[in-house]
Amino acid sequence: MTVFDLASGLLEAGAVRLSPKSPFTWASGLKSPIYCDNRQLLGSPALRSQIKAILAERAAESQPTLVAGTSTAGIPWAALVADLLELPMAYVRPEPKKHGMGRQVEGPQVDGHKVVLLEDLISTGGSSIKCVAALRHEDAEVLEVLALFSYGLPQADAAFRASGVRLRVLATFDDLARRAQEKGLLDARDQASLAEWRLDSVAWSKRHE
């Protein structure tokens, strides 16, 4: 299996910002010392090519017959991987479309297919699990969710266990924190703050309102 240090790539591409002292606010209102925008990776051809290759290598291990991407951020990675593996590709909306055919899974019919679902980022896992459910509703077998990065929140671990689907990621929160500390981007106090946030993001958020 290819060894690939995506955590360093995320930091070098500016895809991840770490700010324990001045936390970011997510759309949910949750305060966070970390913000990840994996779309920045698409702007680096060399890094994008590396990620495409390792995603395809990992996906091929499950022997899928179709690659799916979560809408919207998982779509480009699914397209790149499907092209490399010469497989059909679909994408999944978090909710059914409210007009037209009202589809939630777009592209070819997925019934009977063995699917690897590509996701760019795992936070609480809720959106990914909705996509898994949509694929299963259309009689696809979801082999796994393959993501670029996960915050490693307990909520996500619980969601994937409950759904019975395997999650694999190229880079973890621990990988990122370790690389950031090695590069001098975090001191020991910041490192401790990040660890506290991951263990209980809700309580951490309340303390930093």
174 is a domain residue: yes
Tally of domains in the chain? 1
Residue 145 has which token pair? 């969710």
What range defines the domain where residue 107 resides? Answer: 6-207
> pLDDT (tens digit, 0 to 9) for every residue of the chain, 209 residues total?
445 789 999 998 989 888 888 899 977 788 998 889 999 999 999 999 999 999 999 999 999 999 999 999 999 999 999 999 999 999 999 888 777 777 999 999 999 999 999 999 998 899 999 999 999 999 999 999 999 999 988 889 999 999 999 999 999 888 888 888 888 888 888 888 888 998 899 899 999 88
92 is a domain residue: yes
Say how far apart CA 75 and CA 4 lie, in whole Å: 22
Instruction: Answer whether 116's CB lies under 8 Å from 132's CB.
Output: no
Instruction: Answer whether 42's CB lies under 8 Å from 64's CB.
Output: no
172 is a domain residue: yes
Residue 167 has which token pair? 């999650």
Instruction: Answer whether 48's CB lies under 8 Å from 59's CB.
Output: no
193 is a domain residue: yes
158 is a domain residue: yes
Instruction: Answer whether 33's CB lies under 8 Å from 18's CB.
Output: yes
Say how far apart CA 129 and CA 138 lie, in whole Å: 14
Instruction: Answer whether 41's CB lies under 8 Å from 9's CB.
Output: yes
One-letter amino acid for residue 202 of the chain: V
1 is a domain residue: no
88 is a domain residue: yes
